Amino acid sequence: MRLLKSWVSSANSKFTEFPLNNLPYGVFSTTKLEKRCGIAIGDMILDCRAVEEAGLIKFSAGTMFKDPFWNNLMKLERNEWTRFRKEITLLLSLDTNPEKLINMLIPQSKVELHIPFVVSEFTDFWSCKYHAINAGTMLRGAENALPLNWNHMPIGYNGRASSVIVSGTNFNRPWGQLKRPNDTLPFLAPSKRFDFELEIGAIVGSKSNGPLTVQQADDIIFGYVLLNDWSARDIQAWEGQPLGPFQAKATATTISPWIVTKEALIPLQCGPPTRENELLDHLKDCGPMFYDISLTVSLTPQKGKPSIITQTNYKEMYYSSAQQIAHHSSSGCPMRVGDLIGSGTISGSQKSERGSMLELSWGGKEPLNLTNGGTRSFLEDLDTVTFHGKGTKEDFTIGFGNCTGTLLPALKYPY
């Protein structure tokens, strides 16, 4: 596949993250336009409500873009997702007369971006082996790093949808019940070991009822976003046994503003990793459901410059989102339109490829030197963490844009 040419000239560069090949879906507003669905193309956004109101796209199911979220399109059959994408591609292609559409383009520099879909439920997995081994080694030693179940199924837990926020939304350092190894009693205090987790989230676009095969699970994935599963390591350490993470992960989960569709990612597909043991039939690999997407994390202190602290790749996953959803549905658990499925922290084999401060500073024992000055074990107040993700082919790029958030100081606790 090669770069598709558009009459939006900024979309025709090898380096733009939003060429005609990408067309990611977001929600935006301007000082004049209320919140609505839009599609990124080059450095512009196509106003989907305007396109629909002008009769340039139609759906037999009725109006699709009166609401400021993408769930209405997600609810349609998969072939409607494809048809819509083809029609938008045609409207923006170099062969189309742009006359009717030019007024429906808004510069990205002029908009505010909002959460692109209503999150039904959020599930977070733990499916990258490098990360699981790093975390397990710190907790249980290298000999027992991976629990026995890890190589046989994607281990996950239900997260909290109410705290999913869009990139750029800042939040306050959480309070929590803490007890360090030498404390006699627990106490309530702001978390001192607050962390990020570099993840990618898959968005479920069709509901299901009953177990899904891996192929069926892949078929219901609508698209992907970058996802920061902010984590309070000290809250997690005290609350986590025996029922798993709860308040440690409930303060905020940040997603990038653009849904990159699964169709746009096809050129970046790759096969599964080498497996230590054969998976059970219902979880077996059945196609290239992993993706070659390079990921970077930068940390910017309050008055400092950004330092890149991690560079890794989404293809480091051990289980695909499709395998995660197949497992998720194995008990008969219904999946819903708008479910968000976190990959789990993505780390590579090298120290510079680790996807959390926990790993980068080895639990705080080896503080990380920031290339632009300072050191970090965990995040400090007013630190900004920014994820970036993109895949490149010979003459085009498919990008996610940024996923960023600033940790504000703790507020007073209301008691």
Residues of the shown chain interacting with a copy of itself in the complex, contacts defined by CB under 8 A: 120-121, 126, 139, 147-149, 152-153, 155-163, 171-172, 174-177, 179, 185-188, 210-213, 216, 232, 235, 238-248, 250-252, 277, 280-282, 327-328, 330-336, 339, 411, 413-415
User: Which residue, 33 or 250, is less far from a copy of itself as judged by CB?
Assistant: 250
Nearest to 203 by CA among 92, 322, 48: 322
With a CB cutoff of 8 Å and minimum separation 6, the contacts of 399 are 16, 17, 18, 22, 260, 388, 389, 390, 391
User: Which residue, 16 or 231, is less far from a copy of itself as judged by CB?
Assistant: 231
DSSP reduced 3-state for 391:
strand
User: Which residue, 6 or 123, is less far from a copy of itself as judged by CB?
Assistant: 123
Q: Is 254 exposed, middle or buried (0-12, 13-18, 19+ CB in 10 A)?
A: buried
Cα distance between residue 233 and residue 237, in whole Å: 6
Cα distance between residue 228 and residue 197, in whole Å: 5
Cα distance between residue 68 and residue 57, in whole Å: 17
Residues 157, 198: contact at Cβ < 8 Å? no
User: Which residue, 59 or 157, is less far from a copy of itself as judged by CB?
Assistant: 157
Query: Is 131 a known active-site residue?
Result: yes
User: Which residue, 137 or 213, is less far from a copy of itself as judged by CB?
Assistant: 213
Least distance to a copy of itself, CB of residue 68, Å: 18
Inter-CA distances, 300 with 309, 361, 371, Å: 10, 17, 11
Q: Backbone dihedral region of 9: left (phi > 0), alpha (psi from -120 to 50 degrees) or beta?
A: alpha
Phi, psi of 129 (to 5 degrees): -65, -35
Element (H, E) at 406: strand 397-408
Least distance to a copy of itself, CB of residue 161, Å: 6
Torsion of CA 81, 397, 267, 350, to 10 degrees: -120
Catalytic residue among 131, 327, 328, 388: 131
Least distance to a copy of itself, CB of residue 250, Å: 4
User: Which residue, 126 or 387, is less far from a copy of itself as judged by CB?
Assistant: 126
User: Which residue, 142 or 243, is less far from a copy of itself as judged by CB?
Assistant: 243
Cα distance between residue 363 and residue 285, in whole Å: 34
DSSP reduced 3-state for 130:
helix
Nearest to 317 by CA among 275, 349, 273: 273
Least distance to a copy of itself, CB of residue 328, Å: 7
Least distance to a copy of itself, CB of residue 205, Å: 15
Least distance to a copy of itself, CB of residue 144, Å: 11
Least distance to a copy of itself, CB of residue 216, Å: 8
Phi, psi of 304 (to 5 degrees): -115, -175
Catalytic residues: 131
